[in-house]
Structure 1
Amino acid sequence: MKRFVKWTLIALPIVLIAIAGIIIGGSYLEHQNAIEEDMAYYPAPGERIDIHGDGHAMHVHGEGKGGATVVFLAGFGTPSPFYDFQAIRRALPDGYRTVVVERFGYGWSDVTDYDRDIGTVTDETRAALKEAGEEGPFILAGHSMAGIEALHYAQAYPEEVTAIIGLDPLVPAYYDEHGEEPEVSGVVTFLARSGLMRQQPDVFNENFHAMAKGLLDDDDAEAARSVFNRRVQTANMADEAEKLTANVRTVQDAGTPDAPFFAAISSENHDGQPFIEALAADTGGKSRIFDGGHYIHLDQPEAIAKQIVDWMQAEAGSD
Structure 2
Amino acid sequence: MRTSRHSTLRTGLAAVAMLAVLAVLAGAAYEQIGRYRAARDFPAPGRLVDIGGRRIQLDCRGGGSPTVVFEAGLGVDGSLSWSAVQPKVAAHTRACAYSRAGLMWSDPSEHPPGARQAAQDLHAALANAGERGPFVLVGQSLGGLYSVGFTRDFGAEVAGLVLVDPSHPEQVERVAHFMTESRSMRSRIGVALAPFGVLRAAAPVLLPQAPHRSAHEMQAIRAFAPKSLRTQLAESDATDASLAEAKGFRDLGDRPLVVLTAMAPYTAAELRGMKITPEQGRQVQAIWKHMHEEMAAWSSRGRHLLVADAGHDIQLDQPQVVADAVLSVVEAVRRNSR
Same fold (TM over 0.5): yes
Give yes or no for the alignment of 1:251 onto 2:246.
yes
AA of the residue aligned to 1:261: L
What is the 5 A alignment of 1:200-239?
A: 200=202, 202-203=204-205, 205-206=207-208, 211-216=209-214, 218-234=215-231, 237-239=232-234
Find the partner of 1:196 among 195, 198, 216: 198
- Segments of 5+ residues of structure 1 without an aligned counterpart are none
- Segments of 5+ residues of structure 2 without an aligned counterpart are 266-283
Distance 1:21 1:265, change over 3 A: farther
Q: Which residue of 2 aligns with 1:120?
A: 117
Deviation at 1:153, TM superposition (A): 1.0
Q: Which residue of 1 aligns with 2:320?
A: 302
Q: 1:25 and 1:181 mapped to 2: Cα distance?
A: 36
Give yes or no for the alignment of 1:280 onto 2:296.
yes
Find the partner of 2:189 among 187, 196, 207: 187
Distance 1:22 1:297, change over 3 A: same
Deviation at 1:283, TM superposition (A): 1.4
AA of the residue aligned to 2:194: A
Q: 1:164 and 1:181 mapped to 2: Cα distance?
A: 29
Q: Which residue of 1 aligns with 2:35?
A: 35
Give yes or no for the alignment of 1:158 onto 2:160.
no
TM-score by length of 1: 0.85
Aligned residues: 309
Aligned partner of residue 65 in structure 1, secondary structure: coil
Give yes or no for the alignment of 1:289 onto 2:306.
yes
Find the partner of 2:164 among 167, 175, 184: 167
- Could you tell which deviates more after superposition, 1-10 or 141-150? 1-10
Q: 2:2 and 2:313 mapped to 1: Cα distance?
A: 61
Q: 1:7 and 1:178 mapped to 2: Cα distance?
A: 61
What is the 5 A alignment of 1:70-89?
A: 70-76=68-74, 78-89=75-86
Distance 1:125 1:304, change over 3 A: same
Distance 1:136 1:298, change over 3 A: same
Distance 1:146 1:14, change over 3 A: farther
Q: 2:223 and 2:261 mapped to 1: Cα distance?
A: 30
1:157-212: CA deviation from partner (whole Å, max 9, x where unpaired)? 22111111111111213244237878362133135332123334532651xxxx41
Q: Which residue of 1 aligns with 2:259?
A: 263
Distance 1:122 1:301, change over 3 A: same
Q: 2:36 and 2:182 mapped to 1: Cα distance?
A: 30
Distance 1:11 1:265, change over 3 A: farther
Q: 2:44 and 2:333 mapped to 1: Cα distance?
A: 35
Q: Which residue of 2 aligns with 1:48?
A: 48
The Cα RMSD (Å) is 2.8
Q: Is the 8 A contact 2:258 2:325 kept in 1?
A: no
Q: Kindly report structure 1 stretches of 4+ aligned residues shifted beyond 6 Å.
A: 1-11, 179-182
Aligned partner of residue 253 in structure 1, secondary structure: coil
Distance 1:276 1:14, change over 3 A: farther
Q: 1:107 and 1:13 mapped to 2: Cα distance?
A: 41
Q: Which residue of 2 aligns with 1:242?
A: 237
Percent sequence identity is 23
Aligned partner of residue 62 in structure 1, secondary structure: strand
Distance 1:318 1:273, change over 3 A: farther
Q: 1:182 and 1:70 mapped to 2: Cα distance?
A: 35
AA of the residue aligned to 1:187: I
Q: 2:221 and 2:82 mapped to 1: Cα distance?
A: 12
Deviation at 1:317, TM superposition (A): 5.1
Q: Which residue of 2 aligns with 1:22?
A: 22
Distance 1:64 1:90, change over 3 A: same
Deviation at 1:40, TM superposition (A): 2.7
Deviation at 1:7, TM superposition (A): 6.7
Deviation at 1:225, TM superposition (A): 3.1
Q: 1:67 and 1:315 mapped to 2: Cα distance?
A: 9
Aligned partner of residue 85 in structure 2, secondary structure: helix
Q: Which residue of 1 aligns with 2:135?
A: 138
AA of the residue aligned to 2:57: H
Distance 1:150 1:195, change over 3 A: same
Q: Is the 8 A contact 2:162 2:329 kept in 1?
A: no
Aligned partner of residue 229 in structure 2, secondary structure: coil
Q: 1:168 and 1:4 mapped to 2: Cα distance?
A: 68
Q: Which residue of 1 aligns with 2:60?
A: 62
TM-score by length of 2: 0.80
